[in-house]
Amino acid sequence: MTLLASLELLLLCIPILAAPSSILDTGPFSWPFFSWFTSPAGFPDEVAVLRLAPFSDPAARAFLVNSSALPLVDFDLQESYAGLLPISAEEGEARKLFFWYWPTSAPEGSKHLTIWLNGGPGCSSLMGFLQENGPIMFLPGMDKPEYNPEGWTTATNMLYIDQPIGTGFSAGPASVRNEEDIAEQFYGFLQQFYTIFPELLSKPLIFAGESYAGYYIPFIAHRILHASQEEQARQAISVHALLMNDGCYSSGIVMQHAPTPAFARLHQATLNLTTAQILELEQRRASCGYDALLAQIRYPPAGKLTLPNNVDYTPYECDLTDLFKQWCREANLCFKEEKVGQGCLKENPLDTYFSRSDVQSLLHLPPSSWSECTSHSVYKSGKDESAVYSETLLPELVDRLPGGVTLWHGVLDALLLAEGDRLTIQNLTWGGEQGFQEEPHTPLYLGREKKGLWHEERGLTYVEVYDAGHMVPQDQPEVALRVLKYVLGLDGL
C-alpha cells in the first residue's frame, strides 16, 4: 500500500472532543490525521451480465459507461454509469461529487441501492471499488484487474461516491466545517442524482462503508430521516439499513488507546514485542484510568458508562496507540496498522490505474491527477468542527431503520480496535434498554470453517471477523458478502 493509501489508516478515529497528542495532536479532526441473458464468451460463469433498461431521463445517457472497455480488463462487464453531479441545483454550482453506479447482476438484489463510502477523511470510494467489494479486483502484485466473484454487485445495486468535496474525483473548493455540512451536501447530491436516475428513487438505501465513514454515514442517514415535509414530497428518499466496518464512532481513547495493551499482548509474538514493552503499556493503561474504563464492559451493563468523550486532550503518556505503533515499526520492517501479521506489500496499482487518461475519459471525467487519499484537508478550517460523535445518532437510527444497524470489525485491525466497538455499544441505549444483554458469542461459519462471531439485539448487529484487518471485504470477501446479504435480508448469519 502506498503512503497515500495509508492516510486513511493514519487518521481514522480523530475524536471530535478528544485530541490525543499523537495522531490527533493537531487538534480535533485535524489534517493530516486525519432482462437477464446468457453470459457472453469470456465472462465468468458465476454471474450473468444484466442488460440495462434505459433510464427515462435522456440526460442519463451522458453518464453511460462501457464497462467492458476498462483498460486491462479482458472479460465482459455489464454497463454502468459514472461522472460528476453538483451538490445543488443552483446555477453555476461548481462543487460536484463523483459517482459510479453499478446495477446488480442478480434479480434478487435489485430491490435495494447500496451506497459505499470510504473514510479518511478524504479517501476515495474507488479504493473500495477496486480493492474490496467491486465487480473487479486489482490488488498489489496483480498485473491486471481480475473478476471478483464476491463483488457486492452480485447481491445489490452499488453506488460508489467520492465525498466530501476534495476527495478523489470530486470537484470544487472545500466548504464543509463539520459532519452536518457533509450530510447537507450529500443530501443535495442525492437530489441531483435522483433527478437524472428517477427509477432508483424507489429503492431503499443501504449505507455501507468503513473507517471514517463511521462518522459520515450516521450523520447522512440522520439528515435523510429528518428531511422536511417539502423535501419528502419532492423526493421520498428512504434508508433501510447501515453497515459499517472498522468505523469511528467514539473518541480515540475508546476506539484506540484504552484497548491497545490487551491487543498488544494478544499479538505479542507476531509483532515481536518484548515483555517489558507489554508491561509498560499495561502500567500506563492503569495509571491513565483506562483499566477502570474497560472494566465497565459487562453484559448486561451495570449502568451508564463513564466514557471520556468530553475530554479534549490526551496527555502524551496516555497516548498508548502511538507508543504501540512505534514499537511495532521498530520490530517489524513491514508493519502495517491495517492488518497485523501481513507481509510486505507489493506496489499498489490503484493510483496509477485511476490516473490513466483512458480510464478518466471512460468515466466522463476531465484529465486530473487522482490519489486514493487527498494530501490536504477536506474541511474549510483544516479540521472537523463537529460538536458530537456519530455514536450519539446511532440509537435513533437503530430504532427507526427497518434493517437496523450492523457494526462489524476485523479482529486483526491494529488501527481501530474491536474492543472499542464493544465499549461503544455497551454505552448506547436503544429499543428501551442499554447495550447488549448478552455477550457476543454466536459463531459465524462458512461451511464448516469458523470465520468469526456475531450477536444481534433489538435491531443492532455486531460481527467480529477472524483473520481480517481494517479492510474486511478485501481480507475476507466471502464473509463480507455474507454479512451484506444478511443486511439485505437475503441470507442469515
- Residue 396 to residue 410: CA distance in whole angstroms: 25
- Residue 36 to residue 203: CA distance in whole angstroms: 19
Containing 456, the helix (H) or strand (E) segment is strand 449-457
Beta-carbon count within 10 A of 144 CB = 12
User: Among candidates 237, 278, 235, 248, which has minimal Cα distance to 260?
Assistant: 278
Given 67, 246, 470, 475, which residue is catalytic? 470
Residues 74-85, buried b or exposed e (16+ Cβ, 10 A)? Answer: eeebbebbbbbb
Beta-carbon count within 10 A of 474 CB = 21
- Residue 32 to residue 24: CA distance in whole angstroms: 9
Given 162, 181, 322, 413, which residue is catalytic? 413
User: Among candidates 15, 130, 6, which has minimal Cα distance to 73?
Assistant: 130
The cell for 472 is: 474486511
CA 213 to chain centre: 5
Given 211, 371, 377, 386, which residue is catalytic? 211
- Burial of 358: CB neighbours in 10 Å, binned 0-12, 13-18, 19+: exposed
Cell 483544516 belongs to which residue? 382
Let me know if 181 is a catalytic residue. Answer: no
Q: Which residues are catalytic?
A: 211, 413, 470
